[in-house]
């Protein structure tokens, strides 16, 4: 009987440990600090390797340097045209100046307007989370680089 109880206790402890580990890993969202670091890395990469190679690296979904969980980069020229996008290569080459989020906010226009007057900034809007597949509130950290803004955002829970 003691052996069965010991096995049951060990299984229960193992189950609790596994549940605790699963609970600890449910928050897979990137942090604001990670977004800032990735944007800075993207800006440095573009400066070091040129726009063509930099934009291609950012748009390449398999490039883990610029894709981490729900964090990725997007680059827009100051006229609103997307030149790199970490989750949707079909956005590249299209102008999104009039694009609105689900609340009607022209977030690309805001991003571009801020980029014309600020070196770095945060902006809030709602966007599709590539991990949850849901529209969620998002804050993007952006830095101006020449005639573009390089942005990486975090989803707020």
Q: Give the tokens for residue 99.
A: 């694009």
Taking only Cα atoms into account, the Rg of the chain, rounded to an integer number of angstroms, comes to 20
pLDDT at 119: 97
CA distances, 81 to each of 19, 87, 93, 111, 142 (Å): 45, 16, 6, 12, 15
The per-residue pLDDT for 120 is: 98
SS3 (DSSP) at 126? strand
**What pLDDT does 2 receive?**
54
Token pair of 130 as six digits: 């590539």
For residues 113 and 41, give the distance between their C-alpha atoms in angstroms, rounded to a whole number: 23
- Res 49: pLDDT: 98
- Kindly give, in sequence order, each residue whose CB lies less than 8 Å from that of residue 103, ignoring residues fewer than 6 positions away: 125, 126
Give the mean pLDDT per block of 10 residues along the chain (157 residues): 43 35 51 97 98 98 92 97 96 96 95 97 92 92 98 90
Degrees to nearest 5, angle at CA 92 with 60 and 124: 90
CB 70 within 8 A of CB 128: no
Q: Are 70 and 76 in contact (CB under 8 A)?
A: no
3-state secondary structure of 75: strand
Q: What is the model's pLDDT at position 92?
A: 98
């Amino acid at each position: 009987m003691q052996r069965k109880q010991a096995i049951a206790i060990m299984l229960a402890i193992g189950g609790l440990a596994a549940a605790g580990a699963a609970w600890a890993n449910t928050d897979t969202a990137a942090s604001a600090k990670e977004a800032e670091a990735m944007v800075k890395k993207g800006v440095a990469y573009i400066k070091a390797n040129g726009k063509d190679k930099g934009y291609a690296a950012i748009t390449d979904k398999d490039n883990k340097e610029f894709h981490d969980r729900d964090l990725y980069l997007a680059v827009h020229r100051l006229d609103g045209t997307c030149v790199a996008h970490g989750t949707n290569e079909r956005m590249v080459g299209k102008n999104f100046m009039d694009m609105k989020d689900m609340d009607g906010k022209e977030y690309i226009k805001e991003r571009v307007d801020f980029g014309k007057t600020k070196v770095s900034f945060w902006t809030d809007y709602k966007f599709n989370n590539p991990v949850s597949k849901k529209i969620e509130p998002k804050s993007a950290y952006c830095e101006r680089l020449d005639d573009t803004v390089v942005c990486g955002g975090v989803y707020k829970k």
